[in-house]
Chain A
């Protein structure tokens, strides 16, 4: 129970141990722990960021998809409209062409009829003359009467 020189020696030992801890033990441990804490915090923050980025991307892709769908519907609608239009146009064109062909054919038919009528007319007059010649050969002079007959034919 006596206080002695040991006290002084122990106090110096204590001081030395504190110095060692202050200099060599506490700083590396503190650094390791604080660095780890920071790393974990950073990792958690990065994960949070990634999660929000994923959310944004999902929303964006959804929007893009919806837009694409709408566009596709629009395009299909337009195409249908255009198809109907084309069919209508084709129908119109065909009808016009048909009409044109029919008109042409009718005109040609009229022309043919007229030509046939001309031919017939000429032949009828020739026949009438021939018939009359045959009848009249015996009675009258052909020259005198042919003039009258041609006048008659022209009146026809």
Chain B
């Protein structure tokens, strides 16, 4: 009887594990061929919702006296535009600024799903999909989402590098920046001899440096956002667990949960902003030649 009872009571580990597992759908064999339905649905719905709302306003945008909705959208527009203007000094309106706006609004909306009560989402999922249906509401606490965004930015980065400098220019930069190359190569002189020996070494050093940079950029870009959102969710789960322990825990969980929610507003907005800024910085750096 005791064993039967133990099976029914949820241990803290099980509780957290349940809340932190994805609603997966396998397309094929192997762990790679799975889709996280919850992250996908949430992110796409949120993306369509947010960008759709902005589109509704932008479609009827007037240069005369703006409506309140348009004023609000223009506020965000100007905010993003100013940030991009300070970092990128090319034609930002054709691609980089709109991308920054998309990233900011979309990530902000996905991060904001952290404000939904974790157990509320789980209960709703059980109601709709049957008992123990898993559903994670915050797409940015899924490494797939943040890494997808970071990788897309990474690909854009390489694309713009090649577009601006040409394929040859890009490869040249891979080997000759940031430490430079031995340009003082003059045969039959002592310096020339040094240059002859130093050049391949500099190529190696430059290339290694660039590879590290190209690897670390998407990693830090995606993991920063993922870590913040994941940790936020875990803390909400821990507080939720504490709230289930009794009256004292309930009050403590409620008060601390409220405090953490308020603090989390800052994190949600800040991480969305940082993700946007890094996107702009990376894309702007790709446009600069050394």
Chain A residues within 8 Å of B, Cβ to Cβ: 1-11, 13-15, 17-18, 20-22, 24-33, 35-36, 39
Contact of A33 among B74, B143, B151 (CB under 8 A): B74
- Per the bound structure, the CA–CA distance linking A132 and B107 in Å amounts to 168
Closest Cβ–Cβ distance, residue A23 to chain B (whole Å): 9
User: If the complex has contacts A3-B147, A6-B148, A33-B77, are A25 and B34 also in contact, measured as CB distance less than 8 A?
Assistant: no
Closest Cβ–Cβ distance, residue B158 to chain A (whole Å): 14
Residues in A neighbouring B70, C-beta threshold 8 A: 32
Q: A10-B149, A26-B97, A32-B74 provided; 19 other pairs, C-beta below 8 A? A: A2-B34, A4-B35, A5-B35, A7-B151, A10-B39, A10-B139, A10-B148, A11-B149, A13-B43, A13-B44, A14-B102, A14-B148, A17-B102, A17-B106, A26-B58, A26-B101, A29-B57, A29-B74, A33-B74
CB pair A13–B47 under 8 Å, yes or no, is yes
Q: Which residue of B lies closest to A13 (CB)?
A: B44
Contact of B54 among A6, A9, A25, A30 (CB under 8 A): A25
- Say which one of B1-9, B61-69, B264-272 lies at the interface with A: B61-69
- Per the bound structure, the CA–CA distance linking A2 and B226 in Å amounts to 13
CB pair B77–A1 under 8 Å, yes or no, is no
- Per the bound structure, the CA–CA distance linking A25 and B104 in Å amounts to 14
Closest Cβ–Cβ distance, residue A69 to chain B (whole Å): 49
User: If the complex has contacts A10-B148, A18-B99, A18-B102, are A5 and B32 also in contact, measured as CB distance less than 8 A?
Assistant: yes
Contact of B148 among A8, A21, A22 (CB under 8 A): A8
CB pair A26–B151 under 8 Å, yes or no, is no
Instruction: Provide 13 A-B residue pairs closer than 8 Å at the C-beta atoms, listed in order of the A residue.
Output: A3-B147, A9-B40, A10-B43, A11-B149, A13-B43, A17-B102, A25-B55, A25-B58, A26-B58, A26-B93, A26-B97, A32-B66, A33-B78
- Per the bound structure, the CA–CA distance linking A18 and B97 in Å amounts to 10
Q: Is B177 an interface residue (CB 8 A)?
A: no
Contact of B99 among A4, A22, A31, A35 (CB under 8 A): A22
CB pair A3–B144 under 8 Å, yes or no, is yes
User: If the complex has contacts A29-B73, A36-B63, are A4 and B95 also in contact, measured as CB distance less than 8 A?
Assistant: no
User: If the complex has contacts A4-B35, A4-B36, A29-B77, are A10 and B55 also in contact, measured as CB distance less than 8 A?
Assistant: no
